[in-house]
Amino acid sequence: MSGKCTYHTTTASHDETIKLGACMGDQLSPGLTLGLVGQLGTGKTALVKGIAKGNNIPDHQQVTSPTFTLINEYTGRVPMYHLDAYRLKNPGELVALGIDEMIAGDATVIVEWADRVISILPADMVWIEITSTGEQTRTFHLRGLGEQACTFVEAMRRQS
Ligand SMILES: Nc1ncnc2c1ncn2[C@@H]1O[C@H](COP(=O)(O)OP(=O)(O)OP(=O)(O)O)[C@@H](O)[C@H]1O
Ligand SMILES: [Mg+2]
Going from N- to C-terminal start, the domains of the chain cover: 11-154
CA distance 5 to 16: 22
Q: What pLDDT, on the 0 to 100 scale, is given for residue 69?
A: 87
- pLDDT-derived band of residue 160, with 50, 70 and 90 as boundaries? confident
E strand or H helix at 18? helix 14-27
CA distance 126 to 41: 20
Question: pLDDT digits over 76-132, tens only?
Answer: 999 999 999 999 999 999 999 999 999 999 999 999 999 999 999 999 999 999 999
CA distance 125 to 32: 7
User: Which residues contact ligand 1 via a Cβ below 6 A?
Assistant: 11, 13-14, 16-17, 38, 40-46, 65, 112, 136-138
Question: pLDDT digits over 49-66, tens only?
Answer: 999 999 999 999 999 999
Q: What pLDDT, on the 0 to 100 scale, is given for residue 2?
A: 46
Fold topology of 11-154: Rossmann fold (3.40.50)
**φ, ψ dihedrals at 83, nearest 5°:** -115, 155
